[in-house]
Chains A and B, each alone.
Chain A
């Protein structure tokens, strides 16, 4: 319990520093932050409005204080000279280009990113672990060699290449897959599944390769330990030894990597969403970057950092459960 509190406080401190760094980089460093917030299709009127509502004339400390306060309780931006824009908490900023609070934009885009992460992570974990286990248990056989080749190939391929190729083969030529996109699973679960299938398979193919390598290396290392030999010598069944002793010990580092990967992915599968044109957080961010929509950029970066920090804490907690050697300090 004390450990949990300490971790949460630590995570809070990290996020505070991240927010300060992000704020500093995007609102203080540029010569003219209003110009960056206004974007490419900027009109003089909008520019004047942003200059006023961003409160650039205020001291930096005051600006930052309002920024942080907005995250917790929301804030009001001045609109024109008298009217105000209300941005309810948690307020990560206000997009002048779309005329919406960033939190709303994130809320609209989150389901698509969650869908990608959900399906892909199940698939890559299953395939990765199974491939790794089989090739460790059948070390040196052709199965192991094929799995190793798969792992090496997958680890060296890029999603922005494989995604295009698979889309070309399965969607355009063979026409056996739906072209990727996103519909709400609550409205049309079948269409949701069919449109998500290709992104899931692509992402899982590349990531499972890394997991297969990790699992195999971990299993082989544990299998050479003395206590495994002891377990075998005691006359335990081979499957019992392999599953209860080897896999259990080998899986702990994989849990760490998995948690971190998932955290990264939840903050926006940037490249996947870009390649398959899925309207998720990553796509929101890339669009914001190409339109130079500064508040959206800041908001998505903060949101993604939040997921990474949460994933870190979750991983540490899970780790201490899985591995009795790790004591909670």
Chain B
């Protein structure tokens, strides 16, 4: 539908649909703000080793001098020990620098979420393309698999399968700890993420399959591979892009939730979910420690959600938000 409108406008003004979408996106203030928020976090995460050099300490270094030994090793000073040395304060008990743990945590979260999104998108797009294009038995098989995967209680299953997969990876020679944990998280998240992408792609392929341009290519003797990848796939980038943009925040929160529940990244690596978990015993006396990862997670997810919405609106002007 949107394409029909876009092409008719293009006939008058000579602008392509993607160019129109881009111009709509450029005019959208929400898109700009949310894009900047997301970029800020990506930059913070990317610059985390730089901060380490500036602050002359590491996220794992203990700072007993910043703790009040008389008060059960709580941070010295106001607001959880915020100071020129420790911009966001220090962790109770250990005195580790919260700002460094925050930026390194952002890096962990973003890397895992992006890796899981990439894997889930590739599998989902391929499955959706095959399922929608070939139809019949193949379609039925893939649809059944989707149904089964979606019948799994995903968080619960992810929690449960982590020790098992970990033991499998370890017996295959992967060292214990995060070297096994992080791949396990990515595998689990991708396994439960791809069906949603596959379903959307499948629906789109079915509506494109019988269109004239595919018909024409088929009549010219194009191979199936050519039809799927050269004719149909290029028309799908808009819905795929929107799905990806809206998938990243849900993977970020899943990652934090898994770590919060104890089935994710483990010490000494920094992670927002782990920070939240570790702040639980102290939230009464040192609320800032809970708020820093909590607000960070909120802003990053909000940024991605708003940006995803804006991209969708730009690509489909008819959608009423």
CA distance A297 to B167 in the complex (A): 16
- Once the chains bind, are B164 and A29 in contact (CB under 8 Å)? yes
Question: In chain A, what residue has the closest Cβ to B297?
Answer: A158
Return chain A residues, CB-CB under 8 Å to B147.
14
Q: Is A26 located at the chain interface by the 8 A CB criterion?
A: yes
A217 at interface, CB cutoff 8 A: yes
The reply to whether B253 and A18 contact each other, CB–CB distance below 8 Å, is no
Whether B256 is near chain A, meaning CB under 8 Å from some CB there, is yes
Complex contacts, A185 vs chain B, CB 8 Å:
none
> Within the assembled complex, what's the spacing in Å between the Cα atoms of A286 and B262?
8
- The answer for the CA separation of A17 and B152 in the assembled complex, in Å, is 11
CB of A31 closer than 8 Å to a CB of B: yes
A297 contacts which chain B residues (CB < 8 A)?
A: 159-160
Contact pick for A305, options B153, B276, B287, CB 8 Å: B153
- Minimum CB distance partner of B295 in chain A: A161
Q: A56 near B: Cβ within 8 Å?
A: no
**Distance of B174 from chain A, by nearest CB (Å):** 13
Which A residues are in CB contact (< 8 Å) with B291? Answer: 165
List of B residues within 8 angstroms of A168 by Cβ: 283-284, 287, 290
When distances are taken between beta carbons in the complex, the residues of chain A under 8 Å from B261 are: 270-271, 274, 286, 289
Partner of B260 from the list A18, A26, A155, A160 (CB cut-off 8 Å) is A160
Does B187 sit within 8 A of A, measured CB to CB? no
CA–CA, A292 and B164, complex, Å: 10
Q: In the complex, what distance in Å separates the CA atom of A83 from the CA atom of B95?
A: 55
Is chain A's binding surface mostly helix, strand, loop or mixed?
A: helix
Q: Is the CB of A164 within 8 A of B320?
A: no
Bound complex: CA A32 to CA B168 (Å): 10
Q: How far is the CA of A304 from the CA of B156 in the complex (A)?
A: 8
| Complexed CA–CA distance, A188 and B249 (Å) | 41
Range of interface residues on chain B?
35 or more
A47 within 8 A of B: no
Residues in chain A near residue B306, CB distance under 8 A: 152
- Across the interface, name the chain A residue whose C-beta is closest to B290: A164
Of chain A, the residue at the smallest CB distance from B155 is: A270
A271 to B302, CA, bound (A): 20
Please provide the chain B residues from 267 to 321 with a CB less than 8 Å away from any CB of chain A in the complex: 273, 276, 279-280, 283-284, 287, 290-291, 293-294, 297-298, 301-302, 305-306, 320-321
Q: In angstroms, how far is the closest chain B Cβ from the Cβ of A48?
A: 20
Is B163's CB within 8 Å of the partner chain A?
Answer: yes
Give B141-160 as 1s and 0s: 1 = Cβ < 8 Å from A's Cβ atoms: 00000011011110111011
In angstroms, Cα B96 to Cα A59, docked, is: 52
Q: How far is the CA of A15 from the CA of B148 in the complex (A)?
A: 8
- Contacts A152-B306, A271-B261, A286-B262 given: A264-B164 contact, CB under 8 Å? no
Q: Which chain A positions have C-beta within 8 A of B263?
A: 289
- Whether the pair B151, A18 counts as a contact (CB closer than 8 A) is yes
A199 touches B (CB below 8 Å): no
Please tell me if B161 contacts chain A, counting CB pairs below 8 Å.
Answer: yes
Interchain CB contact under 8 A, A267 and B284: no
CA distance A297 to B306 in the complex (A): 37
Which chain A positions have C-beta within 8 A of B167?
Answer: 30-32, 36
Whether A30 contacts B152 by the Cβ 8 Å rule is no
**B171 at the binding interface (Cβ < 8 Å):** yes
**Distance, CA A267 to CA B279, complexed state (A):** 28
B131 sits at the interface (CB 8 A): no
Could you write out 24 A-B pairs with CB less than 8 Å apart? Answer: A14-B151, A17-B148, A25-B161, A26-B160, A26-B164, A30-B164, A152-B305, A152-B306, A161-B290, A161-B298, A164-B283, A168-B283, A168-B284, A168-B287, A220-B320, A221-B320, A264-B153, A282-B156, A285-B159, A285-B160, A288-B160, A289-B261, A307-B153, A312-B151
Which residues on A are within 8 Å of B, measured CB to CB? 14-15, 17-18, 21, 25-26, 29-32, 36, 152-153, 155-158, 160-161, 164-165, 167-168, 172, 217, 220-221, 224, 264, 267-268, 270-271, 274, 282, 285-286, 288-290, 292, 297-298, 300-301, 304-305, 307-309, 312
Task: Supply 4 further A-B pairs (C-beta < 8 A) apart from A161-B297, A164-B280, A308-B152.
Answer: A14-B148, A161-B298, A301-B160, A308-B150
**Interface residues, chain B, with chain A CB atoms under 8 Å away:** 147-148, 150-153, 155-157, 159-164, 167-168, 171, 249, 253, 256-257, 260-263, 273, 276, 279-280, 283-284, 287, 290-291, 293-294, 297-298, 301-302, 305-306, 320-321
